[in-house]
Amino acid sequence: MSIYFTKEHEWVKVKEGIAAVGISEHAAHELGDITFVELPKIGKSVKQFEVLGGIESVKAASDIYAPVSGKVVKVNEALDAAPEIVNESAEDAGWMAWLEISDESELKNLMTQDQYDEYLKTL
């Protein structure tokens, strides 16, 4: 399974046309203790890089952008009760939503893990 990243620190993992979306370990670390995750509504359609949801921490509030276009088919309801899961496992258990991808060619607009690691060095 491939993972891709945006410059806004979202990640996406794609399997059989479904994209799991969340924020990177880097972003979770930068935000500090996460206190609230605003999950998108199931059925919502988003275009690539449109606002998908939001996240709040003791330091800041940020929008979460959709790394790819698609329709929300599942959200991680565990985050409602335990937003700190994102701090503990940002790139796995802390996923936020699953999108049914409308155009997999959009993945070429994103960074691979290696490209993202290089990008982080420039920040």
Flag whether pLDDT at 2 surpasses 90: no
- Give pLDDT, residue 92: 97
Flag whether pLDDT at 59 surpasses 90: yes
Q: Please, what are the domains in the chain? A: 2-103+111-118 (2.40.50.100)
Instruction: Please state the φ and ψ torsions of residue 33, each to the nearest 5 degrees.
Output: -65, 115
Per-residue pLDDT reduced to its tens digit, 35-55: 999 999 999 999 999 999 999
- Give pLDDT, residue 29: 96
Per-residue pLDDT reduced to its tens digit, 65-120: 999 999 999 999 999 999 999 999 999 999 999 999 999 999 999 999 999 999 99
Q: b vs e for 30-65, b when ≥16 Cβ sit within 10 Å of the residue's Cβ? A: ebeebeebbbbeeebebebbeebbebebeeeebebb
